Structure 1
Amino acid sequence: MAEAIEWTKSAVGFGTPGPNDDFYHGRTLPEKHHEMTETWYWGFNEPVSGMHGFIHIWTHPNLELCTAGLFVHMGSKRDQLACELFDFRNFTPDTIFDDNGNITLANGLTVEFEKPMERMRIRYANPDRAFSLDMVQEAVQPAIMRSNNAHFEQTMRSVGKVVFEGCDYAFDNLTIRDRSWGERRPEGGHKMPPYTWMNGAFSKDFSFCISGLDDPARNPDWAGLYDIAPDKIMSDAWVYDHGEQLRLSRYSKITERAPECGLRPVRHVIDCTLENGRELQFTGEVVGSVPWHCWQNALCHTGLTLWTCTQTGETCWGETQEVQWNDYAYRMSRPVG
């Protein structure tokens, strides 16, 4: 039997976001274990160049530690350090907040919450890499909270510009951010198939964020290696449809991966039924990704994905973030030489 990862789970229904949920909950939370974490994530993209940006802040409040930074890539990379920009710091104090809750990281990236839960400005400059970022993200949909009131995603309009080696890359599009706090996130390796977090925003009225494992009935690449019950393949999932926040009553996903490129995801097909009975299919073509070592025992393939909704014909740019662990990578990788 394969393992489960508790921090990806959501019960039925939704929680309620609060006005201060952008700000650090930190050591005020009841969970005092050293594995308790708190995270912020923002993404951005400029599809003409294939640019995808990834900002991640990960604190361990009870250890008073912060791991945070950003990377930006154009197309697919074989290694995270091959990105156009990669600048993370693994072991710094979590004293990254000013009196107003705004963030300044050790690498100089700043996040100013101009209107908490609605609008934030993010800036970063790295002269050594001839790189700068100036971006405003503004909410176009409400924060969609898990029923545990400790994790939300939110569709944002991302407007800004990257300058890299003298070239400007301006963008104005939709993206989905992620925020979590108060739960343990163990670093051990899991004996299970890849876990995939996928999102796309077709418009201010229609978006999705769906996470889970491949459906064993669709003959995934790991078929025969792991015993996964059908009712255990979906983790957290929602669709926002013209003002309604909807959970799924059915979920089935298959991901195609490239063995010659480190098992990176290249295509997803998600079939699902919403709790109101509407059936949807989302097909995602991953146009560029990076194998990011989010921590030592996990590899997260992060990338820019072109999504199509079969029923509506709409397309949008979104993301793939797929976590893989040692057992799967070892069993699936081809020998070298």
Structure 2
Amino acid sequence: METSPDSGASPSSTNLRPQLGGRPLHECRPDDEFLHPPAASGHYSSTETTYWGFNIPEKQLNGEIYMWFHPVLRMCSASVYIWKGFHGSTLSCEYVNHYHYLPFPEKGIAEYRVADTMNLSFRVIEPLKTIAIEYRDAERGVALSLLNEAIMPPAGRPGGFHFTQAMKVTGELDLFGEIHAIDGYFSRDHSWSQERRETSRNGPPLTWIVGVFGDDLAFHAVGYDDPSLNPGWEDRYPAVKPGQGLGWGYIFQAGVTKPLKSMRKLTHREEDGLSPIGFDVELVDIDDVTHIIKGHVQARMPWQTWQNMNVYFCQTRWELDGRTGYGDAQDIQMNDFVHHFAKRP
């Protein structure tokens, strides 16, 4: 999950996602599974993240696990969210457990338990391939066990410092005594060694989208709606040009991962002007093959990753070449956009 551009900006600036479409994907190494040095600047906002989860589409049920490490501050944050269907508030979800301030894992993350206050543990069985996650909240009656197995090599963002990877996820969720079998797909990501300042920025929503259709087909893209498709904000944010909304992404097909060259995307929203309900996506890969993808949101909740930003987490059903897949669409919104485009009663 890429929640912001990687350098700081003044609150009044428009700091858009760098365009990396068409560039070669970064080749990841097994060491990239683990913790990295802080950003070269040494700034306190230096960040490393790991993001995991699961979905059970037939139940409109989603789970997200997010670790946010702060190597300079020597602390970390951790989140577990589980929800069904549509929610207007994070706290209305079936289960929310988030801690801003936890001890840093001084012995690394190859095998570790997050903290006594949050019984969440990770075990790397084989780097970049197989990772086990266990979580238990006995007091509130929630537990889960996940085995994450890669269906593709990690796709590194051009220039490095980040990868996204489609995983086969199996296991079990105990949600207040109701047992749910987990047997599906999820796209995890990992970012490191760059600043992630919490500065509020002027600009349109940045959307992080992933979808998996089976062991042989998955995609990922991050970027903005195309202003030529009339998303409604084009006059306020003229820095976003038609045909230039892609940050980066890939298409994984029949064992081959190809970087994306361009994207045209349009987000459809509820009458409130903010909440996503669907996506029209056109991806062009490095071989000039066009992939037309339609997305329908079937579960959604808002999460303020930090107070200057709101992210709509959307379990999305994707249609591509006659196949159906599922994955996240995360619509990242800042104060300026919400203030000007929220439709008030």
**Per the shorter chain, which TM-score range?**
over 0.9
Task: Please tell me whether the aligned partners of residues 69 and 105 of structure 1 are also in contact (alpha carbons under 8 angstroms).
Answer: no
92 and 9 in structure 1: CA distance in 2 versus 1, 3 angstrom threshold: farther
Aligned to 2:271: 259
Q: Which TM-score applies when normalising by structure 1?
A: 0.93
Bigger mean CA deviation after superposition, 147-156 or 228-237: 228-237
Task: Give matches, 1:1-337, under 5 Å.
Answer: 3-6=14-17, 12-27=23-38, 30-94=40-104, 96=105, 98=107, 101-106=110-115, 107-227=118-238, 228-260=240-272, 263-309=274-320, 312-336=321-345
Take 2:143 and 2:18, find their aligned partners in 1: how far apart are those partners?
33
Q: 1:13 offset after TM fit, Å?
A: 0.7
Q: 1:231 offset after TM fit, Å?
A: 4.9
Gaps (5+ residues) in structure 2? 1-11
- Number of paired residues? 331
The one-letter code matched in structure 1 to 2:206 is: Y
Q: 1:67 offset after TM fit, Å?
A: 1.2
250 and 10 in structure 1: CA distance in 2 versus 1, 3 angstrom threshold: closer
317 and 99 in structure 1: CA distance in 2 versus 1, 3 angstrom threshold: closer
Q: 1:232 offset after TM fit, Å?
A: 3.6
Take 1:238 and 1:205, find their aligned partners in 2: how far apart are those partners?
13
Q: 1:171 offset after TM fit, Å?
A: 1.5
Gaps (5+ residues) in structure 1? none
Take 2:86 and 2:18, find their aligned partners in 1: how far apart are those partners?
28
102 and 26 in structure 1: CA distance in 2 versus 1, 3 angstrom threshold: farther
Task: Please tell me whether the aligned partners of residues 19 and 116 of structure 1 are also in contact (alpha carbons under 8 angstroms).
Answer: yes
Once the two structures are superposed, residues 4-33 of structure 1 have per-residue CA deviations (whole angstroms, 9 ceiling, x without a partner) of: 345785771111111111111144x53411
Task: Please tell me whether the aligned partners of residues 22 and 260 of structure 2 are also in contact (alpha carbons under 8 angstroms).
Answer: no
254 and 67 in structure 1: CA distance in 2 versus 1, 3 angstrom threshold: same
The one-letter code matched in structure 2 to 1:254 is: L
Task: Please tell me whether the aligned partners of residues 213 and 323 of structure 2 are also in contact (alpha carbons under 8 angstroms).
Answer: yes
RMSD: 1.9
Q: 1:43 offset after TM fit, Å?
A: 1.8
Task: Please tell me whether the aligned partners of residues 21 and 246 of structure 2 are also in contact (alpha carbons under 8 angstroms).
Answer: no
Q: 1:82 offset after TM fit, Å?
A: 1.0
Q: Helix, strand or coil for the counterpart of 2:218? A: strand
Take 1:38 and 1:224, find their aligned partners in 2: how far apart are those partners?
35
Take 1:199 and 1:245, find their aligned partners in 2: how far apart are those partners?
14
Take 2:325 and 2:23, find their aligned partners in 1: how far apart are those partners?
27
Q: Which TM-score applies when normalising by structure 2?
A: 0.91
Task: Please tell me whether the aligned partners of residues 7 and 184 of structure 1 are also in contact (alpha carbons under 8 angstroms).
Answer: no
Take 2:312 and 2:342, find their aligned partners in 1: how far apart are those partners?
15
Q: Helix, strand or coil for the counterpart of 2:79? A: strand
